[in-house]
Chain A
Amino acid sequence: MPSPDAVIRFENVSKRYVRRPRTVLESLSALAGRLGLGRGVVAPAVAEFWAIQNVTFEVTRGEAVGIVGANGAGKSTILKLIAGITAPTSGSVQVEGRLATLIELGAGFNLDLTGRENIYLNGAVLGLSRREIDEHFDRIVAFSGLAEFLDVPVKYYSSGMYARLGFSIAAHVQAEIILTDEILAVGDVLFQRQCLKKIQALKSAATILFVSHDLAAIRKVCSRVLWLKDGRVQLSGEPEPVIEAYLRSVQANRDQNLRAVRSLDSETGGLRKGSGEIEIVGVETLDSRGQACAVFKMDDALTVRIRYLVKGPFRDPGFCVNICSQENVFIHGTNTFIHERPVTLTEGEGTIDLRYSALPLLTGTYWLTVGVASENDWSAPYDLRERVRKFEVLSTRPDGGLVCIEHQWSDCVPVREQDPAR
């Protein structure tokens, strides 16, 4: 039942990507393959891939629709179809209204140009005239917080600054339809909050499509959620039930995956298991000056820096770090749940530090096991890497064992027999 208010209308939309044989040689061998000749000759398959199939939905004016689904489920394809970047293979896509594509922030920056010049370039990509950009210029700069860096070429910007500038431009062009694809993937937590607030403010004036792995953000922003699975709409409706159903399916998959992904760590040879929504991509040991260091003295400060990569949806995540000896004696373990320290994860890559103020360890080799899991459930972690990194401790104390427990010897005190004479 087509609604008159619909600004976006998908009817039985399918999109197929084809990789055609390109070179003459490839074409010939493909032809030979079709004729049944040259068996054994590798005929490059004409790879065909349906990004979405028979997708039908409508978005009415002023709605904020979240799109969830695993990587490759077709979320980005839907945004590209709405944006008119690509055309459907079959079915019809109708869109009314002026568009802002936030698809991958900062697309269209020219690295050699300054921030100021790129604001004009990026605004122009979004279809604004110079005068219109002039009008919004001050607000864009104020929101980005990059006033001092305006005349610096953007190639000197950090990825966070890049994202700030991109979002600030896109959010201030007064688009009627806003498409956001993983916009929270970069930038610091503070800026992400600022982004979310801005998006909520934009809701009154615009129709929003919000693609994110951050289900909390989707809950906050969206009035409706579309769950895509393998290119089809699995479920759509009120955020809460759809997100719940999606999470249950993710959980079921996780339990299956868990057995499958349990493997030897390709980097360290240690055991690794996890479902992979969040991955530990690196563990570093740093000294008190923040320099990477693998050899410590006893009572030195040690900081464990964990680099993680968010790849999928997650819920109530937390990290753990265990220290073991060379002989795999478990010496100390802690995690963020013990400290009741809520972890706010940024999408994309990030780091978290654990600092030991003074290592009470004796001379020897020690191993770190690092993990990330949901709700303190370490039987089904997102990623757990055993013995992922080692460090040496040199101690001048000749004590034996692993841990130096503070101690004092007293003087010898002879035990006197009771003087029978007394």
Chain B
Amino acid sequence: MRQHLTRLIRYRGLLWNLALGDLKARHRQTTLGMLWALAQPLSMLLVFAVVFSVFVKVPVGDIPYVLFAYTGLLSWLFFANSLSAGLPSVVSNMNLVTKASFPREVIPLSKLVTTGFDFLIGMAVLALLLIAYHRPATGALVVVPGIVLVQVMFTTGMVLWSSALYVLKRDLGSILPLILQVWMFLSPVVYPISLVPERYHTLYLLNPMAAIMEAYRSVLLFGTLPSFSGMAVAAAISVVVLWGGYAYFKALEIRFADVM
């Protein structure tokens, strides 16, 4: 494993290059440019705000619904977009994979850099929203990097695992949108966890994304520390997923060029 990591570090230049190339290619010849990073979360936010706070009144306490939904949406989109972009990334870079030798995980990881970039911009907007709505800044904010770290680990593990599996089983491409949709509704993106019956909470929080969203909300919206046990479980699952995903990817890696 250490060998893999040193090799990966040696190729970090390629990682940045691929990510930068993606960003440039995406924004070149667009009028809005970087602003597109905000278009998706903001338009979904608008829809959710109308549907779930005007049509269906989702009880979220004294928090403005927009703020509530945006917090969940931001972390969800980082996860979902990373998976959607990461899944086909190895296959769509087959000209690189079959012609040059480099640690293949660089490709899916570069997708995480670009979605992470969108996430950061979204975070900046969230910060502005929090100030605009006069949410109190408390000491609990110091754990935000920790929550981000857990989310990044979980997302990275899932992306590595799925992008490798996709090389062998292209069916995954058709199933992923369905999985993501179901997963979103099993996570507290548009509704608070308090709507889930108490007896299912343990089961519900086995989904690291649920625990992560809850943690973001308690820190950013309520200014309180997240539930330690919930985050501990999410962190443990994330470490296992990351480790397993990376090991799986590296085990399959040498076969990529043959399958393509």
Question: Which A residues are within 8 Å of any B CB, using their own CB?
Answer: 17, 22, 80, 83-87, 99, 101, 103-104, 107-108, 110, 112-113, 117, 120-121, 123-130, 133
Q: Does B101 contact A (CB under 8 A)?
A: yes
Chain A neighbourhood of B100, CB < 8 A: 83, 85, 101, 103, 107-108, 125-126
A127 contacts B99, CB within 8 Å? no
Chain A neighbourhood of B99, CB < 8 A: 85, 101, 103-104, 107-108
B21 contacts A125, CB within 8 Å? no
The A-contacting residues of B in range 163-190, CB under 8 angstroms, are 170
B258 contacts A113, CB within 8 Å? no
State in angstroms the CA–CA spacing of A133 and B16 once bound together. 14
- Flag the segment in B6-14, B111-119, B203-211 that touches A: B6-14
State in angstroms the CA–CA spacing of A22 and B100 once bound together. 26
Question: Which B residues are within 8 Å of any A CB, using their own CB?
Answer: 10-11, 13-14, 16-18, 20-21, 24-25, 28, 95-102, 170, 254-255, 257-258
With CB as the reference atom, state the residue of chain B lying closest to A131: B13
With CB as the reference atom, state the residue of chain B lying closest to A179: B101
A-B pairs with beta carbons under 8 Å apart, 15 shown? A17-B258, A80-B98, A84-B101, A85-B257, A99-B101, A104-B99, A107-B96, A107-B100, A108-B96, A112-B28, A113-B21, A113-B24, A121-B17, A126-B100, A128-B13
Contact of B95 among A84, A108, A121, A133 (CB under 8 A): A108
State in angstroms the CA–CA spacing of A86 and B28 once bound together. 35
With CB as the reference atom, state the residue of chain B lying closest to A83: B101
Chain A neighbourhood of B14, CB < 8 A: 121, 124-125, 127
Chain A neighbourhood of B170, CB < 8 A: 22
Q: Which 7 pairs between the two chains have the least Cβ-Cβ distance?
A: A107-B99, A124-B14, A112-B25, A124-B13, A84-B101, A87-B254, A124-B17
Q: Give the interface centre of B17, B25, B102, B257 by most chain A CB atoms within 10 Å.
A: B17
State in angstroms the CA–CA spacing of A113 and B17 once bound together. 11
Contact of A127 among B11, B21, B95 (CB under 8 A): B11
Given contacts A87-B254, A113-B25, contact A130 B101 (CB under 8 A): no
A112–chain B nearest beta-carbon distance, Å? 4
State in angstroms the CA–CA spacing of A130 and B16 once bound together. 10
B254 contacts A127, CB within 8 Å? no
A130 contacts B24, CB within 8 Å? no
B248–chain A nearest beta-carbon distance, Å? 17
State in angstroms the CA–CA spacing of A125 and B13 once bound together. 8
With CB as the reference atom, state the residue of chain B lying closest to A103: B99
Q: Known A-B contacts: A103-B99, A120-B13, A127-B10. Give 16 more (CB < 8 A).
A: A83-B100, A85-B99, A85-B100, A85-B101, A87-B254, A87-B255, A99-B101, A107-B100, A108-B96, A108-B100, A113-B24, A117-B21, A121-B18, A124-B17, A125-B100, A128-B13
Chain A neighbourhood of B257, CB < 8 A: 80, 85-86
State in angstroms the CA–CA spacing of A124 and B96 once bound together. 12
Chain B neighbourhood of A80, CB < 8 A: 98, 257
Given contacts A86-B257, A130-B13, contact A121 B101 (CB under 8 A): no
B21–chain A nearest beta-carbon distance, Å? 5
State in angstroms the CA–CA spacing of A123 and B17 once bound together. 10
A107 contacts B95, CB within 8 Å? yes
Chain B neighbourhood of A129, CB < 8 A: 10, 13
State in angstroms the CA–CA spacing of A104 and B96 once bound together. 10
A101 contacts B101, CB within 8 Å? yes
Contact of A120 among B17, B28, B258 (CB under 8 A): B17
A57–chain B nearest beta-carbon distance, Å? 20
Chain B neighbourhood of A110, CB < 8 A: 21, 25
Chain A neighbourhood of B28, CB < 8 A: 112
With CB as the reference atom, state the residue of chain A lying closest to B10: A127
Contact of B102 among A87, A112, A113, A127 (CB under 8 A): A127
With CB as the reference atom, state the residue of chain A lying closest to B25: A112
A181–chain B nearest beta-carbon distance, Å? 9
State in angstroms the CA–CA spacing of A85 and B98 once bound together. 6
State in angstroms the CA–CA spacing of A133 and B18 once bound together. 16
Q: Give the interface centre of B95, B101, B170 by most chain A CB atoms within 10 Å.
A: B101
A83–chain B nearest beta-carbon distance, Å? 5
Contact of B11 among A85, A101, A124 (CB under 8 A): A124
Chain B neighbourhood of A85, CB < 8 A: 97-101, 257
State in angstroms the CA–CA spacing of A17 and B98 once bound together. 14
State in angstroms the CA–CA spacing of A117 and B16 once bound together. 12
State in angstroms the CA–CA spacing of A124 and B18 once bound together. 9
A86 contacts B254, CB within 8 Å? yes
With CB as the reference atom, state the residue of chain A lying closest to B96: A108
A78–chain B nearest beta-carbon distance, Å? 14
Chain A neighbourhood of B96, CB < 8 A: 107-108, 125
Chain B neighbourhood of A117, CB < 8 A: 20-21, 24
With CB as the reference atom, state the residue of chain A lying closest to B99: A107
Chain B neighbourhood of A108, CB < 8 A: 95-96, 99-100
With CB as the reference atom, state the residue of chain B lying closest to A104: B99
A112 contacts B13, CB within 8 Å? no
B21 contacts A86, CB within 8 Å? no
B108–chain A nearest beta-carbon distance, Å? 16
State in angstroms the CA–CA spacing of A244 and B99 once bound together. 31
Contact of B258 among A86, A101, A112, A124 (CB under 8 A): A86
State in angstroms the CA–CA spacing of A186 and B28 once bound together. 30
With CB as the reference atom, state the residue of chain A lying closest to B22: A110
Chain B neighbourhood of A130, CB < 8 A: 13
